[in-house]
Amino acid sequence: MGPSLRLIALLLSLCMIDNIAASARSDEMRVTLLGTGTPFPSAERFGSAILVGVAGKRFLFDCGRGVVIRLTQSGVNPKDIDGLFLTHLHSDHVVGIPDLWLSGWFLGRTKPLPIWGPPGTRSMAEHLVQAFGFDIRIRQAPPDPLPAKGVEIDAKEIEQGEIYNDGLARVSAFPVDHGTVKPAFGYRIDSAGHSVVISGDTKFCQNLVDFAKGADCLIHAAWSAGWKNSTPPSKRSIASAEDAGRVFAIVKPKLGVVYHYKDEEGLGDAVRKEYNGPFVIARDLMVINVGKTVTWNGKSSAGTTPDGDKPRR
Ligand SMILES: [Zn+2]
């Protein structure tokens, strides 16, 4: 990287606002839905990625298409992601990894990028290093080399249970039921008496229900309303909106959130068939604060309507 590029990278870093520290109380969790879409390309809804600001850390759950653009729109420099957690290795959850990893390095990361994920994560990381060998070599060459540590990936393969605990924040992983995709995981994040659960891709799953007990905010995949999906229920690998509604009805979160949907038609009504409590249909860049109360984009979950905000088209 030449001096002028280095200057641009530095200016970008300085311009990015520390949105976690500036906007959330220190004992609150701040969830930003960076990407709420599916493998189908959409300019409105990017690939799966959820940013969780918790106890001074910025954790990313999945790393789908466009994640670096959405992080930048949220005022977060990709170099400042403290850890990436993968629910499973379907491409729409991981294709953003090279961009997060290498752009984060270019923008100033000096430490390895930690990635937790299912078996196969370590192999993927090793092959990414091979695939991008040219870029890695060139950017470490004189006259303006980037630090070698910043392009390392610290890949850790997970199983059910607590996988991260720094005394202030805990992350637990639990297997979910994504059909033939085994293993696939969901995650629970706990801090200061507050909790967020992310389903990952799953159909109705009792293990998720068990791990989500008492969760303040439950973010659940829902492909479409059941009647919009031509695949028979027994052959589906991901929840319908009715399935997500059933999970919300059992867990009773302060706020249920449906994401990773392909078809929005009838989605809110389908959740409402099974569940009377507060929920919202996710949009890219929606922000949820999880503290004593749960609010999203400034609104209280107590006043949530099934449709949430209509998308801005
Ligand atoms: Zn999947």
CATH number, residue 163? 3.60.15.10
- The reply to whether 87 falls in a domain is yes
Tokens of 303: 């006043």
d(CA 271, ligand 1 centre) in Å: 21
C-beta separation of 255 from 288 below 8 A: yes
**pLDDT at position 118:** 98
C-beta separation of 54 from 169 below 8 A: yes
Measured CA distances, 95 to 46, 101, 123 (Å): 11, 11, 15
- Whether pTM > 0.95 for this model: the answer is no
What is the distance in angstroms between the CA of the first residue and the CA of the last residue of the chain?
38
Q: For residue 178, what are the β-bridge partners?
A: 181
Nearest alpha carbon to residue 96 among 131, 116, 71 = 71
Q: Is 66 helix (H, G, I), strand (E, B) or coil?
A: coil
What is the rounded distance in angstroms from the CA atom of residue 184 to the CA atom of residue 202?
8
Residue 307 is among the residues annotated as catalytic for this protein: no
Domain count for the chain: 1
- The reply to whether 303 falls in a domain is no
Domain containing 112 equals: 3-297
d(CA 166, ligand 1 centre) in Å: 29
Helix (H) or strand (E) holding 105: helix 97-106
Nearest alpha carbon to residue 222 among 239, 209, 208, 246 = 239
**pLDDT at position 15:** 47
Chain-centre distance for alpha carbon 176: 16
- The reply to whether 304 falls in a domain is no
Summarize pLDDT for 129-163 with one digit per residue, the tens: 999 999 999 999 999 999 999 999 999 999 999 99
Tokens of 126: 């090793």
d(CA 177, ligand 1 centre) in Å: 10
d(CA 134, ligand 1 centre) in Å: 30
d(CA 205, ligand 1 centre) in Å: 15
**pLDDT at position 230:** 86
- The reply to whether 302 falls in a domain is no
> Which residues have CB atoms below 5 A from the ion given as ligand 1?
90, 201
Active-site choice (92, 177, 216, 284)? 92
- The reply to whether 309 falls in a domain is no
Summarize pLDDT for 214-255 with one digit per residue, the tens: 999 999 999 999 899 888 888 899 999 999 999 999 999 999
Residue 205 has pLDDT above 70, yes or no: yes
- The reply to whether 122 falls in a domain is yes
- The reply to whether 279 falls in a domain is yes
- The reply to whether 193 falls in a domain is yes
Q: For residue 174, what are the β-bridge partners?
A: 186
The interaxial angle of helices 267-274 and 241-251, nearest 10 deg, is: 40
d(CA 299, ligand 1 centre) in Å: 30
d(CA 90, ligand 1 centre) in Å: 5
C-beta separation of 139 from 1 below 8 A: yes
Write the Ramachandran bin of 111: left for phi over 0, alpha for psi from -120 to 50, otherwise beta.
beta
